[in-house]
Amino acid sequence: MNTKETLSLFWEVLKIIIIALIIVIPIRYFLFQPFLVKGKSMEPNFQNGNYLIVDEISYKLREPQRGEVIVFKYPKDPSQRYIKRIIGLPFEEIEIKNGDIFISKDGKSHILNESEYLPSVYTSGKTKIFLKENQYFVLGDNRFASSDSRRWGKLEQNFIIGKVFLKALPFNSFKKIQIPAY
Burial class, 110, CB count within 10 angstroms (exposed 0-12 / middle 13-18 / buried 19+): exposed
Q: Using an 8 Å Cβ cutoff, are 96 and 126 in contact?
A: yes
Decide: helix, strand or coil at residue 92.
Answer: coil
Using CA atoms, how far apart are residues 145 and 137, in angstroms rounded to an integer?
A: 17
Largest pairwise CA distance in the chain: 81
Active site members: 41, 84
Report the Cα–Cα distance between both ends of the chain, in Å, rounded: 67
Burial 139-166 (b: 16+ CB within 10 A, else e): bbbbbeebebbbeeebbeeeebbbbbbb
